[in-house]
């Protein structure tokens, strides 16, 4: 039997004092690391640190042995026939960039690259760049993966698809690739397996792909290391796109020759400590009772869906976007009425970690008319109690923040008509509220004073450095008494609107000299923001201040 509590005991992060109430449900972004992986990374620096492939001394030899040992282990783990079919990269993103760059010389004008709308930006943007350079065309699988066979044409050169959506968790049936692959021998089949490795059994020997990429940090390994599997004959057709030391056979002043794959793709010093961690991570995964672990994860994701189904029936403004069937461990909700960013902030205040946003899959969200999705992603160290905590925090949010519904929809596109929007705010009111919880609610209600202004939603108005989206426009009034500034804002988060309103009620309709004389540090500490607000929300406020000071300079 798989024992989640025993499994969790491998992960020291959960047992640190500051994390004891943490409910970590952002596993599709990255998983926590078991002690054995942390030890392997540390041990490398303590006992083995040297550069590999420079075998003139003992430590260098042992670093080289480590590198090649983990390469073999990775090959066995993925089912590769030869260890030289494994390239160490920085992650799935770098692997996919290598593939797009490395296959570009195989493409001519009018050739087709077949992708799906489910792709992470990492498996879309590199192909867009290559398509523009070569005149190749991006074509998207319409419908499910079952139909992939009908969509390959004589022009298809590359098929590159995710094995599971990082937004909706839906697993693509790669067997369809296997059937089609034999019929199209000239086509390169690439699988982005970032969300499935370490969860469901994948064996490249089953011949469903020519290349496969993944990021070990998503299955308990360290960051900074990625795996690119390429079948031997395919890897040798991949052009090298990163150059430098370590991948060289001979260099003259005007030309160079390179060693064979995989080493030709590993320019520069390899991330050896991360590779040591990867070795320990593969051992760790292999030691687990995988069938039981998978069954447990299925039960967990079923339970998440059960709870979320209750939530959406109680709060019909919320939509459940996923189903537990054929799901890698992800549930997602959205709403037209509530700000997903606010729900994420609310959960964060209670130490429940989920991810909110576009999940690096903007085209997918746009195809569904969504701008943000709240994603819950489980791992086998999560418990049913974790899901209960999530559910209860979500219910609290919807019960106590129904005022978060966006009230006004501005139709007037003239920014100057919103000049007085915040003039009624008196920040002293906030100081009379004793408890931080009530102050937080008051901040949310201040957000309500800020009208929705869709016409501001463009890149020029966007303030960078904020967690949620914050758009700003400046009105400069010049008179014989001098120049005064008024800032008009909008955000996809009610909390951010409220916090921004607290800054703007101090600076609006003031001159540069007056604004510069305000002691914002004292102001923030008087409001208790620095003490109580989470770091990222606070740095969002600093980003707004920076923007204001740059504008009035």
User: Who contacts 489 (Cβ-Cβ below 8 Å, separation ≥6)?
Assistant: 450, 456, 470, 471, 472, 473, 497, 500, 501, 504
Nearest to 357 by CA among 376, 343, 340, 345: 340
Q: Cα separation of 25 and 301, whole Å?
A: 11
**Cβ 400 to ligand PLP shortest distance, Å:** 32
d(CA 103, CA 120): 19
E strand map for 163-273: 188-192, 211-214, 226-230, 248-251, 256-258
CB of 267 to ligand PLP, least distance (A): 18
- Which residues are the active-site residues? 360
The nearest distance, CB 516 to ligand PLP, in angstroms, is: 41
Nearer to ligand PLP, 301 or 541 (CB): 301
Of 162 and 451, CB closest to ligand PLP = 162
Q: C-beta of 499: minimal distance to ligand PLP in Å?
A: 28
- If the CB atoms of residues 162 and 339 are measured against ligand PLP, the closer one turns out to be 162
Nearer to ligand PLP by C-beta: 97 or 491?
A: 97
Residues 156, 127 contacting (CB under 8 angstroms): no
What does residue 166 show for φ and ψ, rounded to 5 degrees? Answer: -80, -5
For residue 268, give the 3-state DSSP assignment. coil
Please tell me the distance from the alpha carbon of residue 164 to that of residue 118, in angstroms, as a whole number. 8
For every residue of 360-426, DSSP letters joined together read T-HHHHHHTT-S-EEEEE--TT--HHHHHHHHHHHHHHHHH-GGGS---B-----GGGGTTTTTT--
Closest Cα to residue 95, out of 278, 204, 230, 280?
230
Taking the complex as a whole, how short is the minimal distance between the CB of residue 226 and ligand PLP, in angstroms?
A: 6
Return the number of the residue (84 or 192) whose C-beta is nearest ligand PLP: 192
Query: CA-CA distance, 89 to 95, in Å (whole number)?
Result: 6
Q: Is 125 helix (H, G, I), strand (E, B) or coil?
A: helix
* Closest C-alpha among 283, 374, 364, 291 to residue 333: 374
What span, in angstroms and rounded, lies between the C-alpha atoms of 226 and 229? 10
436 sits in which H/E element: helix 436-447
Give the nearest distance from C-beta 258 to ligand PLP in angstroms: 24
Cα distances (angstroms) measured from residue 249 to each of 270, 393, 399, 428, 530: 17, 59, 67, 71, 56
Distance of closest approach, residue 487 Cβ to ligand PLP, in angstroms: 35
For ligand PLP, give the closer residue by CB, 172 or 264: 172
- Residue placing its CB nearer to ligand PLP in the complex, 163 or 495: 163
Least distance in Å: CB of 446 to ligand PLP?
Answer: 35
Terminal CA-to-CA distance of the chain, rounded, Å? 65
Phi, psi dihedrals of residue 168, rounded to the nearest 5°: -110, -5
The minimum distance between CB 345 and ligand PLP, in angstroms, equals: 21
Interface ranges with ligand PLP (CB under 6 A): 91-93, 120, 122-123, 162, 166, 192, 194-195, 215
Nearer to ligand PLP, 31 or 64 (CB): 31
Q: Which residue lies nearer to ligand PLP by CB, 122 or 376? A: 122
User: Using CA of residue 72, residue 78, residue 81, residue 82, what is the dihedral sign?
Assistant: negative
């Amino acid at each position: 039997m798989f024992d989640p509590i025993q499994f969790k005991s491998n992960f020291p992060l959960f047992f640190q004092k500051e994390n004891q109430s943490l409910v970590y449900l952002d596993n599709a972004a990255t998983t926590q690391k078991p002690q054995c992986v942390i030890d392997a990374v540390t041990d490398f620096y303590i006992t083995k640190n040297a550069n590999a492939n420079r075998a003139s001394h003992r430590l260098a030899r042992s670093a080289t042995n480590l590198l090649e040992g983990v390469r073999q282990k990775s090959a066995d783990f993925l089912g590769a026939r030869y260890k030289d079919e494994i390239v160490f990269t920085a992650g799935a993103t770098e692997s996919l960039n290598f593939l797009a760059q490395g296959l570009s010389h195989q493409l001519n004008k009018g050739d087709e690259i077949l992708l799906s709308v489910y792709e992470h930006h990492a498996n879309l943007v590199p192909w867009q760049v290559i398509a523009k350079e070569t005149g190749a065309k991006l074509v998207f699988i319409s419908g499910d993966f079952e139909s992939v066979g009908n969509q390959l044409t004589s022009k298809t050169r590359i098929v590159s698809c995710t094995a599971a959506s990082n937004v909706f968790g839906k697993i693509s049936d790669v067997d369809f690739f296997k059937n089609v692959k034999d019929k199209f021998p000239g086509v390169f089949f690439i699988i982005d397996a970032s969300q499935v490795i370490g969860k469901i059994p994948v064996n490249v020997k089953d011949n469903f792909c020519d290349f496969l990429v993944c990021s070990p940090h998503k299955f308990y390994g360290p960051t900074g290391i990625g795996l690119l599997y390429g079948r031997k004959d395919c890897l040798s057709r991949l052009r090298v796109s990163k150059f430098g030391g370590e991948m060289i056979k001979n260099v003259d002043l005007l030309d160079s020759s390179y060693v064979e794959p995989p080493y030709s793709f590993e320019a520069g010093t390899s991330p050896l400590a991360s590779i040591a961690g990867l070795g320990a991570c593969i051992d760790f995964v292999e030691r687990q009772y995988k069938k039981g672990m998978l069954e447990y994860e299925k039960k967990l994701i079923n339970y998440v869906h059960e709870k979320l189904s209750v939530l959406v029936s109680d709060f019909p403004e919320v939509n459940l976007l996923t189903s537990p069937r054929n799901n890698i461990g992800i549930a997602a909700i959205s709403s037209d009425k509530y700000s997903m960013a606010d729900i994420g902030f609310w959960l964060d205040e209670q130490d429940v970690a989920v991810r909110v946003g576009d999940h690096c899959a903007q085209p997918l969200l746009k195809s569904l008319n969504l701008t943000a999705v709240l994603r819950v992603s489980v791992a086998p160290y999560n418990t049913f109690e974790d899901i209960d905590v999530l559910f209860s925090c979500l219910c609290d949010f919807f019960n106590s923040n129904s005022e978060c519904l966006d009230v006004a929809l501005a139709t007037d596109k003239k920014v100057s008509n919103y000049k007085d929007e915040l003039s009624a705010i008196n920040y002293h009111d906030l100081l009379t509220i004793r408890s931080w919880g009530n102050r937080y609610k008051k901040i949310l209600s201040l957000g309500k004073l800020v009208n929705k202004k869709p016409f501001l939603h463009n890149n020029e108005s966007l303030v960078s450095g904020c967690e949620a989206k914050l758009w700003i426009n400046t009105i400069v009034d010049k008179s014989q008494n001098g120049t005064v500034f008024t800032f008009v804002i909008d955000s996809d988060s009610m909390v951010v609107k409220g916090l921004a309103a607290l800054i703007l009620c101090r600076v609006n309709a003031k001159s540069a000299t007056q604004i510069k004389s305000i002691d914002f540090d004292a102001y923030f500490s008087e409001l208790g923001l620095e003490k109580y607000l989470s770091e990222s929300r606070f740095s969002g406020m600093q980003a707004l201040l920076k923007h204001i000071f740059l504008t009035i300079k």
